[in-house]
Structures are given as C-alpha cells and as structure tokens.
Amino acid sequence: MGLLIVLVVLLLFVVVLLAKSIQIVPQSRVGIVERLGKYQRTLTEGPNLLVPFIDRVRYKIDLREQVVSFPPVSVITEDNLSVDIDTVIYFTVTDPVAATYEIVNYIQGVEQLTITTTRNIVGGMTLEETLTSRDRINTSLSEVLDDATGRWGIKVKRVEIKAIDPPASIKDSMEKQMRADRDKRAAILTAEGQRQSAILTAEGGKQAAILNAEGDRQSLILRAQAERESSILKAQGEGQAIQTVFQAIHDGQPDQALLAYQYLQMMPKIAEGSANKVWVVPSEITKALEGLGSAMNQVSGIPKDSGGPRVRVDPGAMDVEIPEVDTSSADEAVREALRAAEESARTAPGQAASPIGGLDAGRDLAAGIPDPSVTPPPAEAPPAGADGPPDDGSTRA
C-alpha cells in the first residue's frame, strides 16, 4: 500500500515537471523568459522547453497591430476656444524585450504622449484651422509618437482624429454662419437665375418684335402689290368698258326716247343717301317727260329718230381673260375726250346748267352724244303728221 502511494506521488511529480518544462506559445506572440529573475530568452510560437522551477515566462507580448482608442481630450485652441478631440492609435510591438523592460505600461505611455502632443499641436491653431486640418494633425502626431516610442520597442503605424467637438455655443454659431452662407448662395443663385430669365425673355421679345415687324413689312408689301395689281386691272377693265360703251353708243345711234329713258333712270340716284333731305328736280326733267309723251316735242339737241339701223350688240363671253397690255393709249383717249368736252362746254354760247355738271357734259360730247342744252341749227320742218326721220343734215358728233 505504501509503495502504491509512492508511485502515485512520483507520477504526479513527473506530470508537474513536464508541465513546467514544456511551454506552448500561440502564433504572432512571444514569451519573455526569466531565469531566477533575470531575462534569459524570448520564446517564439510553438512548443518550447524550460528548466522546471528555474525558468519562468514573465510576459507574453502580442506582435500583431493593435488599435487603441483614447477618451476625448479637452484642448484649447489659439483663439481660446475649448474643443474635445478623440484620437485612435494604430501601433505594433517591434521589440518585445524593450516593450517589457523599457517602460512599465507602454499603452498608458502612448496615451499620455498622444494627449500632450495633441494639445501642443492644436494650441497653435485656430478653431477654423483645427476643424479643417485633420490631416495636418494626424501627420504631426504620427511623427512625434513614432520618434518618442521607438526606444520602447513600439512602431506607431497611424494616428487618426476620430472627432473634434467644439462647445455647444460654438456649434450653434457655426450652424448660423453656415445657414447664412447657404442663404447667401441661394439668393445669389436665385438672382442669377432671374437675371438669365430676364435676359432670355428680353431676347425672345426682341426676336419676336423683329419677326413681327418683318411679317408686317412683307404683309404691307404684298398688300400694296395686290392693291396695285387690282388697281391696274380695274383701270384696264374700266378703260375697256368705257371703250365698249362708247363704241356701242356710236354703233347703236340712240334716239331721243332712249336717252330720255336713261336720264329718268338716273334720277333716283340723286335722292339716295340718308343725309339727302331736300333735292332739286332739274328743269330738263320736264323736257325728258315731254319727249316720252309726244314725238312732236323733243329735247333740244337730241334727234327724235336716229334713222339709223338697229344693231344688237353682242357682249360676247362673260369670262374674259385680261391680258397684260399697255393701257396708256386708252387712258390718253379718255383724257383727250374729257379735255375736248370741257373746252366745248366753255366755248358753247348759251349753255344751260346741267344737273350732271360740266364734266358729264364733256363726257357726253366725247362719246359722240349731242348735248341737250345746245341748240341745234335750224332745219326744215317735216310735213304735218309725218313721223319720219329728220334731215340728213342733222348735226351729229
């Protein structure tokens, strides 16, 4: 029984001895071995043999890159404004022995060094520069920390400013300033838009006015050309109508009854118009009526019977194409006839006033129609009761 107890004790001792002799180190970590309180060696990853009860693993150092976020630090800027700055440090341990024996707590050392360096950098900057110069602060912190932590066996990879928080009053002022700046830019853009709109509207109005004026000009030109052509065609038509009428009168050889009837047809036109309140009946109307009632009495200057042939005038086709001809000869003939009529009216002795006027009398003379107011030369009286035509010596225009 006693031998069994001794064997069990020996077995336990061997197990403890093996446990103390073999040390397993994880990947990317190292162990600092001290022998009797003095640094002996550094253990790498994997199994390592130690001298039991003499060698002891004092520290285990993580060689991976570490990220440490520090609490906000109150910093006073150059313009005496207090801001809170949060920083994040990225570093690695390059020398485990120095990180173990050169400083007691390298993380705390990096934190305090970051605080002092941040205050030193931001203290020489204004609030506006602090808010807009994060890259500058990051670069300065990285250089200072890397230089100061090199002897600790630490390599500072990167420093980032996580947040810069000014006081609430400063935030409110900044928001008002930013709002005012945005309102200013909005007002400028609105004014610019209104300016562009006014310019475009004016240009559009100008172009519209130009186009309207051009359209009015072309319309007036075309209307004037149309009126000109219409006047020319109307004048040509009137000239041809006058020639046709004059020719028909000469060919038809009108007698006293026909002319008296035409004279009576013109009488209602004298009374036309709403302004005609009183109109005078010419003295020749009685003679015209006498010419219609009795063949014995005739209007002075108009033969009772023309004695000529009765010729029916064929007006021809209604649709007549008016050629582009020179109407100067017809107009000249009309003017000559009017001048001759006016001259004859002035030189004729004892001419009575006509209701139509001197111009109409001239026109009648120009057309070859004897003026009723002119007394014809005496002719031999026909036998009583005879209705024959007058002498061949009757005056004809």
- Residue by residue, what is the 3-state secondary structure of 245-311? HHHHHHHHCCCHHHHHHHHHHHHHHHCCCCCCCCCCCCCHHHHHHHHHHCCCCCCCCCCCCCCCCCC
pLDDT at 189: 94
270 Cβ partners below 8 Å, 6+ apart?
276, 279, 355
pLDDT at 62: 87
Where do the CATH 3.30.479.30 domains begin and end in the chain? 66-166
Backbone angles phi, psi at 30, to 5 degrees: -135, 160
> Which ranges of the chain have pLDDT less than 50?
295-299, 302, 308-320, 322-323, 325, 327, 349-397
- SS3 of residue 59 by DSSP: strand
The model's pLDDT over 219-253, given as tens digits with 9 standing for 90+, comes to 999 999 999 999 999 999 888 888 888 788 777 77
The sign of the CA dihedral 16, 20, 21, 25 is positive
β-strand 82-93 against 66-69: which pairing, if any? Answer: antiparallel
Quickly tell me which residue has 């002319």 as its tokens.
259
Question: What does the chain come to in residues?
Answer: 397
Are 66 and 56 a contacting pair, CB within 8 Å? Answer: no
What CA–CA distance (Å, rounded) separates 99 from 305? 158
Instruction: Write down the H helix ranges in the chain.
Output: 2-21, 96-101, 106-122, 127-132, 134-148, 168-252, 256-270, 284-293, 328-347, 358-366
pLDDT at 8: 78
Helices 284-293, 256-270: inter-axial angle, 10-degree rounding: 140
The model's pLDDT over 71-100, given as tens digits with 9 standing for 90+, comes to 888 888 888 888 888 889 999 999 888 888
pLDDT at 273: 63
pLDDT at 161: 87
CATH 3.30.450.20 fits 66-166, yes or no: no
252 Cβ partners below 8 Å, 6+ apart?
310, 311, 313
